[in-house]
Amino acid sequence: MIVRFAVIAIILAACARAPRAGPLTGVPVATGIPDTRLRHGHRRLVFDWEYKERVFAGKGQGVARIAPPDSVRIDLFLENGLNAGFVILIADSLAAVAQDAARRSLPPVPLLWAALGVVRVTAADTIALQDGDTLRVEIGREPAWRMAYSASALGRMERIAAGRIQQTVERKDSTRVVYRQPAAGKTLLLIIRGFIPETGFDAAIWRP
């Protein structure tokens, strides 16, 4: 019986598919994409995190040290205080990941930036539509990146391939960020606890 249920679980996992990406809605507009670059000033972001997938789950706390224009170091800790790894993100390069557990829970680089409200993808093929108070933008093809902006702030970013939504980052409000990979059953929730201004960071934190 146990074997039977295991086989069924494997079949269901294999059949899981990403949801279809429908057409963009709204009225075409000739407008520039909102500027979402990191604002001036070093700061420390403190957050709680909770990660779930089909056969694994974890939660804890984290600290992101942010240095404009393009550098972020993220340290993750389990709820018992143990170190869960760290990430050094510089521009479009993931410079270091300490542990496999940290690596499996993190979005790819463009969506990792999107979790901070920053869009760093560019391509010649760009469509912009105004849908009420929301600006919807699609950049590139295979994969395509779709963004939804409200009041010039990034609210959602999707990675679309083969007509399906492969991964998303949604910034629900100023305190909650959710990353999802539907076909893999992955969800990473970040709850922002606060921003702390800093005068700067030791250069050693940017070295693996």
Residues 49-81 have pLDDT tens digits of: 999 998 888 899 999 999 999 999 999 998 888
- pLDDT beneath 70: ranges in the chain: 1-16, 98-102
CATH class label, 32-199 = mainly beta
- According to DSSP, residue 141 is labeled S
Q: Please, which residues have CB within 8 angstroms of residue 44's CB and are 6 or more apart in sequence?
A: 63, 64, 65, 66, 195, 196, 198
**Domain edges within the chain:** 32-199
Residue 178 and residue 169 in contact, taking contact as beta carbons nearer than 8 Å: yes
According to DSSP, the residues that pair with 138 across neighbouring strands are 127, 146
pTM as predicted: 0.87
Q: Give the integer Cα–Cα distance in Å for 22 and 129.
A: 14
Burial code of 154-186, b = ≥16 C-beta within 10 A, e = fewer?
A: bbbbbbbeeeebbbbbbbeeeeebbbbbbbeeb
Terminal Cα distance for the chain, rounded? 48
Note the pLDDT of residue 14: 39
Q: Please, which residues have CB within 8 angstroms of residue 128's CB and are 6 or more apart in sequence?
A: 28, 29, 30, 31, 33, 135, 136, 137
Q: Which of 38, 41, 92, 83 is nearest to 58 (CA)?
A: 83
Q: Give the integer Cα–Cα distance in Å for 72 and 94.
A: 10
Note the pLDDT of residue 101: 61
Note the pLDDT of residue 104: 73
Q: Decide: helix, strand or coil at residue 90.
A: strand
According to DSSP, the residues that pair with 88 across neighbouring strands are 73, 96
